[in-house]
Amino acid sequence: MSTQSVNAQVDFDLPLQDTNLQAQLPSSIQQLQLRNVQVSADGLVLQINGIPKMSASRIASPDRIILDLQTTEVAPWIHNSLIAVNRYGVKQIRVAQFQKSPAIARLVFDLDNNSPASWQSSFDQTRGLLVLRPLGISGTSNNPSNLPVTGSTVANNNLATTIDGLSFNGYGQLVIQASRAISYRTSLDLATNTYNVTIPSTRISSQLRRPILGSNSPIEQIRLNQVGDAVVVSVKALAGWQIRETARTNTQAISLQLESVGQVATGNPQNPRSQIQPSYSNNNGRQLVVIDPGHGGPDVGATRNGVYEKDIVLAMSKQLGRILQQMGYSVMYTRTEDIDLDLEPRVQMAENARASAFVSVHVNSLDASASQVNGVETYHAPGASLGKNLAEFVHEQIIASTGATDRGVRSARFHVIVNTSMPAILVETGFITNPSEAARLVNSSYQERMAAAIAKGIDQFLRSYRR
């Protein structure tokens, strides 16, 4: 691959406290974005969509270099991040948005005793990489092939840190485990009681392990999103519960403590869902079924060996919708493409459409140590008698049609089935962590058989309760 580059020398051998040096690089008119900072065999690599005007200064006590990129915003997933270097006379680099208007991205190089006197910069326009090469230090080259690959959701394997799994320990803590030491920042969305952990310079492992949330779990939902070069773990707790950080004893793990903050007041101890009578028609006189393919977009769901839950359930859901339409039902999908969609909008679609039934389609997973586990589980909301009936009809048809292991009809407080007023179920169609079952789940013929069984169960339920 040919490399178009612009070269300039940046002199970092500055008098202490000199803040006036301007690097002689062409400036860019448009707003730029710094998307990543990495260490390569060639030096320090900045992923940026243009050539910024740079200014540098060197300050003592402690010895450090401050590099400002003018007219450049810092991508949110690397803002306030710390990149370990331990090469080229640089211990680490701190990255932050120093100023918003006009935008200035600031990189602080914490130096050791071997810091080079000068650096040379070059910009690879083909791949959007600004490379800072130390002069006078052996072990660097001008070979473009040494640079990280950009534009891919999978980072350079030599540099990538992965989020490998989430699990519960014996202290009531949810533990996020990484392949290497990680830094992170947290935030709390009070409106939804969701605790967000942003882990920069990481990616979601293709062998990700996720915990099973039982019906008594204080956690309603766990989502992992790949946001640029950061992984965002969002943990939504039930009302009456809160999440807090614990002291770190392992740099490769983050432990979140779940704590009860008192009982939630309720006006009526009975589950209102069991009192609701369904409306079995929509405005065109035909019964409407809302089909909800789980996850989507950066929320890939369960995954194993590069296969994503979001893709399996979308294909299966489309087949389910087609079969239901052939049976004479109206069908609405919460999503028909690979898009990010939160839980509440899925519920509101069904509520606004006055659906007759709501069916959420998912794929299950366990730790790699439990790869022998397989089978189908069908869930309804606790106390929802009609939801339980729908689950029983559907589950019976799936087991009879597919021959899958029967793991039973269960109740759980999944958001989409607890907060919908019509009969609602969530079907876990199999375990992607079981090699044999995973091979069936990605097979289009098996997907169609599963969809036909779900459709038959829905049809039996709606015919039984039709008024």
Place of tokens 């401050």: 66
Determine the angle formed by the axes of helices 385-402 and 444-464, rounding to 10 degrees: 140
Written as one string, the DSSP assignment of 71-106 is TEEEPTTTTTEEEEEEETTEEEEEEEEEEETTEEEE
User: Is the CB of residue 149 less than 8 Å from the CB of residue 229?
Assistant: no
> Positive or negative, the Cα torsion across 353, 362, 227, 3?
negative
State both tokens at 39.
């260490």
C-alpha 334: how far from its chain's center? 19
Exposed/middle/buried for residue 403 (C-beta within 10 Å: 0-12, 13-18, 19+): exposed
Residues 6+ apart with CB under 8 A from 157: none
CA-wise closest residue to 108 among 130, 70, 135, 82? 82
What phi, psi does 89 have (nearest 5°)?
75, 10
Active site residues: 428
Q: Parallel, antiparallel, or unpaired for β 161-168 and 202-209?
A: parallel
Strand partners of residue 351: none
Contact 140, 213 (CB under 8 A): no
Please state, in angstroms and rounded to a whole number, the distance separating the CA atoms of residues 147 and 131: 9
On whether the CB atoms of residues 316 and 383 are closer than 8 A, the answer is: no
CB 110: neighbour CB atoms within 10 A?
A: 16
Helices (H), ranges, 247-380 = 309-326, 343-353
Residues 6 or more apart from 425 whose CB is under 8 A from it? 357, 358, 359, 360, 378, 379, 380, 387, 390, 391, 394, 417
Q: Is the peptide bond before 134 cis (omega within 30 degrees of 0)?
A: no
Sign for the pseudo-dihedral over CA of 363, 367, 372, 377: negative
End-to-end CA distance of the chain: 68
Contact 68, 10 (CB under 8 A): no
Provide the residue count of the chain.
467
